[in-house]
Chains A and B, each alone.
Chain A
Amino acid sequence: MTRRFFSKSLYWSDAALKALSFLALGTGVSFLLLMIVFVLRESSLGSGFTMNLFDFLVRDPWAPMATPPSHGIFHAWISTLVITGLSLLLAIPLGFGIGLFLSEVAPRWVQQVMQPALELLAGIPAVVYGFFGYVTLVRNFEVWFDMPAGECLLIAGLILAVMVLPFVASTAAEAFRSVAQELREMAYGLGVTQLYVMRRVLFRKALPGLFAAVALGLARALGETLAVLMLAGNTVAVPHSLLERGQPLTALLATELGETVVNSAKYQALFASGFILLIVVLGINAVIWILKHHFLERSHA
């Protein structure tokens, strides 16, 4: 015991700080874990969930007012998939491009301007993106495509792409930057072009980091609420084209929760969809974490 070295009061103040800090950590983390348990509990997925899982996910429509009411979420996860897919389709190439630009091409002063610009983009709240999309795209879509109301999956996807872009871009830039400088020099020394180096060396070496960038964008896009709530149109029909309206999972939750009787079948269905979303995002985050560590260990080696 080295601690005997100190006077008693000093020893106790140190021990108290240690105990208190452990208590603080425990409190915070256990409330976070309680969140998972409680959302699961409210969904009663483990016991007494009134629906067949297949009906819930695929077969039944969302019709809580019908007799008998039915609470399928097929339309919601289809909308989520379409919007998320579209946004990543746009954000990944552009984000990788920006990442390469920042790490390989941009002069120092351009990098110093771009970094805060991307942080600005990431700092704009979702509801402001929704509003921005509404006053710019939705109104114009009504004119361009002769639609009675302009909200549609396409607009939601476009705005969502802008929202996830800074996350994809900065993670990609980090991935490219962490490729060892010797590899670049070696390749250039062999007399190949910059394009060749990027394609054959950087992309391969940065692959885990790029994958993490995609996963990060995916997790962001899946959970985004306010923007898609305002832009996707919020109808319970299953969408058949990008110009139709839809209702992603998060929008379904935000629309319905406030007017749902606690512990009713609808309430359970909402929490079950929330739990599914939670688990999917947690899974993606776990993958990101593993990639990041794998990646760090490799680049140190």
Chain B
Amino acid sequence: MHDAAAKSLSANVTGSSETYRASLLRDRLWRAALWFCGFIGFLLPVAIIGYLIIEGLRFVSWQFLTDYPKGSPLGTEGGIWPAVEGSLALASIGLLVAFPLALGGGLYLSEYGRSQRFNKIVRFLVECLAAVPSIIFGLFGYAFLVVFLKFGISLIAGGLVLALIMFPILLIAVQESLRSVDEAYREMGLSLGVTRFYLVRRVLLRKAWRGIVAGIVLAVGHAVGSAAPVLFTASVYFSKGGLGLDRPVMTLPTHLYNLVSEAISFDQAFGTALILIAGLLIFNASAMLLRRLGGGFTQ
């Protein structure tokens, strides 16, 4: 769209149509290269997800989803229900623990914390720790929960580790969504003489819930997909299903890892990968939808 201007002017400035033509050609090539970059950026996710769907669809059925691992070695036949159940249970415990803490924390930072410096330091710590590799969380969970507190490799230990991973993500989401609520609502509410408690409950949370829910979905999606933190805090190769806080569980990502690394069954691995991806896609799509519907929070 800038071509026309560039054309007339750069011809005059350089005074030579040859240099002008060369630079215009270079510009075209450059733009073509950028389109190519964009194309690759689009092709990669489509190709990877398309490949997993096409290859995996053959192995996925209702029975695959709801049956227990069978065959010999175990896992070559049957389904993955205990892994689905385990992953859901772990994520629920994580969310149940992390969400109240993050809601309170975000509320404090956005509504109560008066000291700019305090808020900034907390935010700095949280943002730095939010991006710590998940294997480190696993390491801590193993040393602190499994060994030191003697929880053993169990649902509760894994759930707490996932809670710790979710906490910073949720906290940032809550704070940002609350902060994006128009300041006028606060001033109006407070000038009407209501308490902050009332203001938070009846106005701010109602305005910010979309962003908060989007944050929850992102955090849960992240937690469900990561294998490193539950590898040695919660997961076992096989379980007969049934959940108990003090018992280990199977999870989708670790099950996929075991199937591949022990070369048990690639057919089953394709099915497991598809279930995992499909679940997360639905999660992420709903987060995107919620955000588009008008939450203030952007990751």
Contacts and interface: CB of A to CB of B under 8 A. Distances in A.
A124 B195 contact: no
A13 B44 CA distance: 53
A169 B34 CA distance: 12
Given A194-B2, A281-B131, 4 more contacts: A10-B198, A22-B112, A120-B49, A125-B277
A207 interface: no
B202 to A, nearest CB: 13
B197 A225 contact: no
B31 A105 contact: yes
Interface string A244-261: 000000100110011000
Interface in A129-150: 130-132, 134-136
A119 B288 contact: yes
Interface size class of B (residues with CB under 8 A): 35 or more
A127 B126 contact: no
A101 interface: yes
Contacts of B126: 29, 32
30 contacts: A20-B104, A32-B129, A35-B137, A38-B144, A97-B36, A101-B38, A114-B41, A120-B45, A121-B45, A123-B225, A124-B45, A131-B256, A131-B269, A132-B48, A132-B52, A135-B270, A188-B5, A193-B27, A195-B23, A196-B23, A216-B131, A225-B133, A225-B135, A225-B227, A226-B226, A230-B261, A262-B147, A270-B139, A277-B135, A285-B127
Contacts of B181: none
Contacts of B198: 10
A186 interface: no
Contacts of B193: 5-6
B62 interface: no
Contacts of A289: 124, 127-128
A interface secondary structure, majority: helix
Given A13-B197, A18-B196, A105-B35, A253 B135 contact: yes
A11 B23 CA distance: 71
Contact of B231 (A120, A125, A254, A286): A254
B17 interface: no
Nearest to B135: A225
Nearest to A221: B133
Interface string B6-33: 1011101100000000011011001101
A229 B254 CA distance: 12
Interface of A: 5-6, 10-11, 13-14, 17-18, 20-25, 27-29, 31-35, 38-39, 42, 94, 97-98, 100-102, 104-106, 110, 113-114, 116-121, 123-128, 130-132, 134-136, 162, 165, 169, 188-196, 198, 216, 219-220, 222-226, 229-230, 250, 253-254, 257-258, 262, 270-271, 274, 277-278, 281-282, 285-286, 288-289
Nearest to A35: B140
B15 to A, nearest CB: 12
Contact of B101 (A28, A134, A198): A28
A54 B46 CA distance: 46
Interface string B43-65: 01110110110010000000000
B45 A101 contact: no
Contacts of A17: 107, 196-197, 200
B196 A123 contact: no
Interface in B253-299: 253-254, 256-257, 260-261, 266, 269-270, 273, 276-277, 280-281, 284, 288
Given A222-B133, A225-B228, A39 B6 contact: no
B129 A136 contact: no
B108 interface: yes
A105 B256 contact: no
Contacts of B35: 101, 105
Given A24-B104, A120-B281, A127 B144 contact: no
Contact of B30 (A194, A216, A274): A194
B188 to A, nearest CB: 16
A117 B43 CA distance: 9
B44 A162 contact: yes
Given A124-B277, A188-B2, A191-B5, A24 B100 contact: yes
Contacts of A31: 164, 167
A32 B101 contact: no
Lowest 4 A-B CB distances belong to which pairs?
Answer: A223-B133, A191-B9, A24-B104, A125-B225
B102 A28 contact: yes
Contacts of B152: none
B261 to A, nearest CB: 6
Given A17-B197, A128-B276, A169 B41 contact: yes
A281 B242 CA distance: 38
